[in-house]
Structure 1
Amino acid sequence: MRNKHLLYVIICCNTLIIICGNLLHHPCSFLPRCRCRLEHHKNVVEVDCGHTKLKKIPSVPSYVIKLIMKHNLIDEIHNGIFSNNTILTELDLSDNRIHTLTEMSFNGLQNLLKLNLQHNHLSKGNNSIGAKTFSYLKKLKYLNLKNNFVKNYQPDLSQLVSLESLHIDFLSNGISLMSKQYSKLKNLAMLDLSGSSGKCSLPILNNESFQFIPQVKHLDISTCKIQQIHKGTLTAMKNMTYLDVSYNTCIKFEGLKNITSDLRFSNINILKINCLHKISDLTTVLKASHIKSLQNTSLQYVFADGNRVQSIEKYTLTYFPKSLKFLSVRQNPLKFGHYISYVFSLTNLESIDVSDLYHHKSDLNPEKCIVDSICTCSENPPNEPSYIEQSGISSLYIKDKIRKKDITDNVSLAAILIPKNLKHINYSSASLIMDIPKLILSRGKLETVDFSNNILHSMIGPIYNVQSLKTLNVANNFCSNISKFFFSSDFKNLEHLNFHNNLLGIILPDDIDGAIFHNLESLIELVLSNNRIPNLPENIFKSQRNLQKLDLSENIFTDITFRLSHMTHLQELDLSGNRISIISDPITLQWDYVAKQHIFSVDLNDNLLECNCISLKSIKWMTTTNVRLKNIKEYKCMLWNRTIIALHNPKEAYNLLTKHCASYENLELTLVLGVLLFIILIMGSLIYRYRWKLRYLYYIVKVKYSSSHSETEEEYSYMYGAFVSYADEDRIFVHNTLLQKLEIENGIQLCLHKRNFLPGNDIATNITSAIHNSRRTLVIMSPNFLKSYWCMFEYNMARMENVYERRDENVVFLMFYEQMSPRELPLNVLEMIQSKSYIEYPNDEYGDTVFWDQLVNALK
């Protein structure tokens, strides 16, 4: 048996049951098409036979605690099929073809807690469910019978004494009455009659409709085609904490008045009154009389979306109870009005949703009402602005002379009063068109602000009193300007900032000092995607040391120039959808550094990556880096011949490029050296050459003034036959072999810095004097020589002596002590090799004799 599988041994009812499979999902031994999951701590099994095309219920072992058989072809529950399943607590038979339930259908399920029979065919009359059908289900707490009945039929549920949650269809042609049998369900707390998940028709509701269910706390009668709801309908339901009457478009706000009147003595906590008006209705006004009865309730959450509310009477908001924490008025064509100033009266309000003001879904099947709505408000309420504009906002400011110590221009700003406990504002898609001016908010606890999908062209600011703000969403606003002082120091606790789909590519590339985001030191997530940004300055994110996610996708970056090595907490960088072709070495070094701190991912998908000899390093980096390349299976790159290949395996691409680039290595090396030489000749050769000349002239003047000097070279008597320039690491060869062969055996007086330099003089003067007073300069070329600063100084001084004092006489003589490739040599040495002769130290006896003879002749 494979290692991936485990062996479960369950001993139950003296039977050894062996079930094989993986830990979470394995075929059941009693029916392989089903899937079993073992609960180790209880030694019981959960069985899922859903979507297996079963036509009948199989015999299930007694150790099964949960059985799911939804979406099958079962049409009958055979008597006694569950007689052994005494520990079964959950049974799901939804989406089958069951048409009848008998007295013995649920025999043995005395411990069942949850039963789902929705989407079956229990609609053939009163005999489909008998009086004692549920007699065995004494502990059942949850029952779902939705989408079964097509006419007014209320099955006998009086035996379900423990039932707490009931989901059932309710169809009525006139006055709707809940059966008296429900009075026996003393524990029933949740009643779902909603037509959105089943079938519901409650044309007329009066004070007798719910008289037998005063115990219900949660009532959902949404989408129930209610035409009239009389005053007193909900009076008996004093325990109700949740009420949903949404999508009953014939109720309108006049019917809402009856609902709120009945709720004034209840324990209502959540009220949903969405879409009480049709989408095609004329706009309306929310009046004080509609909600006045709620003033002394414990209501905390109100949903009033899609009600065609255009305006609100002046003092209406003051009648909401002090306990209100959440208010949603989405998808209402609200006009700007003076009622906004009364939002401040909602002192405990924590969240408000005013989004999607002018976005409405079309209603393809509008409800037919007995009396349709008429216009309940004028198109332009008197003394109120007809649309949201900056001047309108200014007119509602509470003029309060508040000054901030960091306001540089000492301007008194207007304070906008907001509820003191308000934490969340959603004002997205509200057709807000304005530039954000200088603002001071009244002190509060504001944590989340969503102003996305508006038109905020420019964010000037600064904004103050937002110390608690953690999330700001200004995506999709056509914003092209953010002032460097918009984010004041009060934004110090902001953690999430979303600028998706704006036009910040105009302003951000000029923020060289990182002033815009300077105060956002606590920022964790920054989204700048789809802003047409071509590049970003190096220090733009200098203050974002705590940043964890940076999204720069869908811009027009061709290269990455901003610094992020200081972001030691950065976990994700999204650069997808840009125009990056090659990742430069400085950037990969920064990314590797961040990846050493913790897991770090970069997304480069949908870029113009290149696979050629120039990008060879970046492709090789992909094969070795610890940075996680997100979505790498989608990467593509362009070869040297313009062919597009997949880059899901960078190692394969690297091997391909290595073979291709090897044949052009010499050509590329020559080309690179040529380009470098050209750049050096054009931009730096003159400076470089004159630098050495000036240094040489300086030291030669010092030497000439300290010693006698003849006018001509023929009259000049050299102190040494040759000055030996060598690295200290090669001193054994020079002091033993070279000195013996040249000075002792051939009489050539050598100048060695260890022996002949005058103490007390600086090194540069000693070098210049030794070169000037020697007939030749012998350079012992080796890798150590190239690494030594003073060796290269000696070499360059000898070159200057050769050019400016010896009239291009062959003064400098190169001897390669070790074999070296041209790549290891600097350009000035290569130039000397090309124009002058040189000699290599041999490794054989015959070559050794020839070498010393040639060297002696060259020096004499």
Structure 2
Amino acid sequence: MLSQKLHRDHYLSFMSALQNLIYQRIFAVSINTMRISNLYITSAYVIYTISVVITGILTEYVCKFDQRCECYSYNSKTEVYCANKNITDSDIPHFSRGIHKLFLNFNQIKRIPQTTFNHLETLTELDLSWNRLSYIEEGTFYGLSSLKKLSMKGNCLNYSLEIPNDIFKPLVSLTHLNVARNLLFNTNRVFHTFPSAFITSLHKLQSIEVDAGHPLSLFRFSNGYKSLTHLTRLKIDFCLLPSLINVTFLYLQYLDHIEMRNCRIQEYEVGTLPNIKNIRYLDISDNFLNDDSLSRLMKDLSSNEELKVMKMTNCCPSIVIYIPASIYLTESKIEEIYANNNSFIQASEYGRYFMLPTTLKVFDFSNNKLGIFFFGMPYLWILNLRNNSLGTYLSSERYTNSCKTELREVDISHNRIYELSYSIFHGHLKAVKINLSQNKLTDVTFDLSHLVSLEKLDLSRNNIGGISSQASMDTLHKLSKKLKIDLSNNMLKCSCENLYFLQWMNANLDMFICKHKYTCRFDNNDVVYMTNFNDVVKQLEKKCNSHTTLITCIVLGITTASIVLFAGLMFRFRWKLRYLYYMTRHKYNVFKSIQSSPTYKYDAFISYANEETDFVVNEIIPNLECDCNLKLCVHQRDFLPGEEITQNITNGIHQSKRTICILTRSFLDSYYCMFEFNMARMESIYSRNDQNILFLIFYEQLRPKDLPLVILELVQKQSYIEYPNDEQGNVVFWDKIKESLVSS
């Protein structure tokens, strides 16, 4: 009623403002331009006149018969509001005829004189709630033959007094009666339930709100209700019903709507509700049912094909580990189940699987302690699992195995979710709203591609710093154009690593809602509100560009230094690396290793420059091969055709006992001669256990400064021989070489 009055006050203000606007517009335009058309003037005056008439009608809200009351007329029907006017028994207004609705609630009326309403034959609704009525006199309701709705809620009616049984008899049209909350003011702890004898004559009664119960004895609705064949709705507002027995509703067989909230129900007896065959709506919220009572109740309802809505909010405050399978009413045609605000831990026994009823559209298990939830739900529309403990379970599992569902709304907020299974929303092609708020998510790693109808994705109050997956951003961009994402109350990361995501957000700002609640933390822990998203992104881009230049220079410097270091190491150990390379090829592709063979193929490998070919052919070969029967490896004669020169050199040195180097200036200038020298040096170090296999012959006079360091070092540490180039000296020269080769 108060809200209706406020709406009327707002409407009057609006109409008054409209009148002033039209008035100013008409005369301002007429005076200033003098060119306004007759049609414009006529239209404006018509609108102005209508507004005056409507405002005039509504302005007369002060009732003529009593200024404390307000009268309003709609479609020739009058409503009178005398609520909260401190009216008492002695100053009840003298109401005029023709009233259709009368509101006397929130006053101080204790009794009503007999003649108060007897002339109100058009009255259809009477509100006497929240007064101080304790007694109703006979004849109080005379004349109210058209009354359909009567409320006496929140009074002090004392049913132990001699109230006439036919007090409501004049109310031949009454369809709704509210006499609830009349036990609240009894102080003698005697509970007198509303007597059924008062209502036996109300044959058209369809709905009743009453108090019921007795804390010390079993309660039932008496046989006076049996004659009320049109009574379909029962709401027990204030009640004490510790036990429901099979006779509690024995005489209420026509009910289809029962509300028993906060009745302290603990025990339920089998067979209590089945006699009510047409029940469609049952609310047993805010009670104290235990496991066994809940199972018995659900068993009674399991075969009821008329039941559509089942509410059991906070019906079972004691912890229930496994919810009984019967709670899902799988054999019924239930459409809505509300099991929120309980202490259920697992929606089913571990390993068991249930298919929800195909008729079920709404399934609310919010505010429980669920750690496991898994059902087949191909036809469900709304699933509410808010405020449970499903975080660990949903990180690797789904809440349904249905490949395709009809789900429109899914709420798994406030579940301490750190991560979701990748496929959790697969098959949700019709989902419009997904609520993941108040969790611990740090990123969007689950697949969104199936949410083609999504209109709202609530990710507020998480720990999301950004979306790292390019695929997730692309998917969100491709989804419904109606999609709105809420990232409020997350701490976004204003860092270079997250710059791409922030740029993507900036390019798709229309997709995000509640942007005034977006905050972003920089690397130095400064936090800014994203009230001007574009400026923040530009600031970060500028910062990251300078960082990028610095990082690029550092990376290039490190890369260059690494290349130089690597090249230096390669140069430092070039001969060792080359030797190892050719030895590996030789070992696995050509010959066996030296350790596996007791003899060498050659007694000596001759290393010389092309300019000393005559010396090798005319001197070395005759003196060593012909005279001493030694076998030499000479590259012009013994290298394998078709093989790489370097490979032939390595193989020849490796298969020879000694390597003889004919040192000349041409030798020092020759690449391959120096290659042969270094390969022989590597051979002696790594394959011959530091055994000296090099034999140096100075064929020409060479100064120390002309020699490379590696040769000079070898000359200083080990012996060498000079070619004498005279007949007598040659004899000694060749004898020493033969002796060296034979003894080695």
TM range (shorter): 0.5 to 0.7
Aligned partners of 2:43 and 2:218: how far apart in 1? 59
Q: Distance in 1 between matches of 2:302 and 2:391?
A: 34
Matches within 5 A, 1:37-186: 64-67=52-55, 88=57, 90-91=58-59, 93=61, 101=64, 121=68, 141-148=78-85, 149-158=87-96, 160-161=97-98, 163-168=99-104, 176-179=112-115, 182-186=117-121
Distance 2:74 2:297 in 1: 61
Query: 1:235 Cα deviation (Å)?
Result: 2.2
- For residue 642 of structure 2, the aligned residue among 689, 706, 709 is 709
2:323 alignment partner in structure 1? 436
Alignment of 1:339-738 (within 5 A): 341-357=271-287, 388-394=289-295, 417-432=302-317, 433-434=319-320, 435-439=322-326, 441=329, 443-460=331-348, 462-464=353-355, 466-482=357-373, 486-488=374-376, 491-511=377-397, 514=398, 516-518=400-402, 521-584=405-468, 585-594=470-479, 597-625=480-508, 628-669=511-552, 709-712=642-645
Pair 598,66 (structure 1): closer, same or farther in 2 beyond 3 Å: same
- Structure 1 pair 556/151, CA: closer, same or farther in 2 (3 Å)? same
Tell me the CA shift for residue 614 of structure 1: 1.3
Q: Distance in 2 between matches of 1:640 and 1:343?
A: 64
CA contact (8 A) 1:428 1:451 kept: yes
Quick check: 1:221 aligned with 2:149? no
Of 246, 255, 264, the residue aligned with 2:180 is 246
Q: Note closer, same or farther for the CA distance 1:178–1:523 as it changes in structure 2 (3 Å cut).
A: same
Q: Of the candidates 240, 248, 252, which is equivalent to residue 320 of structure 1? A: 252
Give the letter for the 2:166 counterpart: G
CA shift at 1:282, angstroms?
4.8
Q: Which amino acid is 1:315 matched to? A: V
Cα distance in structure 2, aligned partners of 1:478 and 1:138: 53
For 1:396 and 1:622, the matched residues in 2 are separated by: 52
The yes-or-no answer on 1:286 pairing with 2:229 is no
2:246 is paired with a residue whose SS is coil
Instruction: Work out whether residues 413 and 437 of structure 2, in 8 Å CA contact, stay in contact via their aligned partners in 1.
Output: yes
Corresponding letter in the other structure for 2:235: F
Two-structure CA RMSD over aligned residues (Å)? 4.1
| C-alpha contact 2:212 2:241 (8 A) present in aligned 1 | no
Name the CA distance, whole Å, in 2 between partners of 1:41 and 1:316.
Answer: 66
8 Å contact from structure 1 (residues 605, 632) kept in 2: yes
Instruction: Quote the Cα distance in structure 1 between the aligned partners of 2:455 and 2:560.
Output: 42
Distance 1:522 1:659, change over 3 A: same
Give the Cα–Cα distance (whole angstroms) in 2 for the partners of residues 546 and 24 of structure 1: 47
Are the equivalent residues in 2 in contact too, given 1:601–1:629 (CA < 8 A)? yes
Other-structure match for 1:734: none
Q: In 2, are the aligned partners of 1:315 and 1:342 still within 8 Å (CA)?
A: yes
Structure 1 pair 507–670 and aligned structure 2 pair: CA distance change class (3 A): farther
The question of 1:302 aligning with 2:234 is answered: yes
**Cα deviation digits, residues 161-206 of structure 1 (max 9, x gap):** 3x221223698987644316x44333221122222xxxx3332124
* 1:739-818 equivalent positions in 2, closer than 5 A: none
SS of residue in 2 equivalent to 1:317: coil
What is the CA–CA distance in structure 2 between the aligned matches of 1:137 and 1:502, rounded to whole Å?
Answer: 49
In structure 2, the residue matched to 1:192 is 127
Q: 1 CA distance for matches of 2:284 and 2:68?
A: 43
Superposition deviation, residue 495 in structure 1 = 0.8
- Report how far residue 241 of structure 1 moved: 0.6
Amino acid at match of 1:233: I
Give the structure with the larger helix fraction: 2
Partner Cα separation in structure 2 for residue 137 and residue 566 of structure 1: 51
- By how many angstroms is 1:27 displaced? 6.4
* Contact kept in structure 1, 2:432 and 2:456, CA below 8 Å: yes
The amino acid of 1:388's aligned partner reads L
Amino acid at match of 2:452: T
Q: CA deviation at 1:397?
A: 7.0
**Is the CA contact (8 Å cut-off) linking 1:487 and 1:519 kept in structure 2?**
no
Q: Distance in 1 between matches of 2:380 and 2:173?
A: 42
Instruction: Give the aligned residue type for 1:426.
Output: K
Does residue 232 in structure 1 map to residue 166 in structure 2? yes
User: Does the CA-based 8 Å contact 2:495-2:540 persist in structure 1?
Assistant: yes
Between the aligned partners of 1:543 and 1:30, the Cα distance in structure 2 is: 56
- Residue 421 to residue 25, structure 1, CA distance change in 2 (3 Å): farther
Q: 1:476 to 1:347 in 2, by over 3 A?
A: same
**Cα contact 1:152–1:172 (8 A) shared by 2:** no
Q: 1:517 to 1:644 in 2, by over 3 A?
A: farther
Match of 2:707 in 1: none
Aligned-pair CA distance for 1:478? 1.0
Larger CA Rg, structure 1 vs 2? 2
Aligned residue for 1:510, secondary structure, equals coil
**Whole-Å separation in 2 of the counterparts to 1:446 and 1:232:** 40
Per the alignment, do residues 629 and 137 of structure 1 end up closer, same or farther by CA in structure 2, a change over 3 Å counting? closer
Name stretches of at least 5 consecutive residues in structure 1 with no aligned partner.
1-20, 33-39, 47-60, 68-84, 95-99, 103-116, 123-128, 358-386, 399-414, 679-692, 702-707, 717-860
Q: Deviations over 1:447-491 (max 9, x none)?
A: 111111101101125334611101111111111122xxx413xx3
> 8 Å contact 1:330–1:355 — kept in the other structure?
yes
Change (3 A) 1:714 1:22: farther
CA distance in 2, matches of 1:604, 1:29: 42
| CA apart distance, 1:269 | 1.2
Question: In structure 2, what is the Cα distance between the partners aligned to 1:272 and 1:575?
Answer: 42
Q: How many residues align?
A: 532
Describe the shift of the 1:711–1:216 C-alpha distance in structure 2 as closer, same or farther (beyond 3 A). Answer: closer
Q: Residue 512 of structure 2 aligns to a residue in which SS?
A: strand
CA contact (8 A) 1:261 1:293 kept: no
- Aligned partners of 2:269 and 2:296 also within 8 Å: no
Cα separation, 2, equivalents of 1:676 and 1:466: 66
Amino acid at match of 1:152: S
- Going from structure 1 to structure 2, the CA distance change for 1:241 and 1:676 (only over 3 Å counts) comes to farther
Any gaps of 5 or more consecutive residues in structure 2? 1-12, 25-41, 562-580, 590-640, 650-744
Deviations 1:235-258 (A, max 9, x none): 232211111112222689975452
Q: Indicate if the aligned counterparts of 1:170 and 1:202 stay in contact, CA closer than 8 A.
A: no
Aligned to 2:134: 203
Cα 1:476–1:239, aligned 2, differ >3 Å: closer, same or farther? same
Displacement of 1:430 in angstroms is 1.6
- 2:158 is matched by which residue type in structure 1? Q
Hey, what's the Cα distance between the residues in 1 that align with 2:354 and 2:76? 59
CA contact (8 A) 2:102 2:125 kept: yes
1:90-126: CA deviations, max 9, x gaps? 34647xxxxx947xxxxxxxxxxxxxx8xx647xxxx
Equivalent in the alignment of 2:204: 267
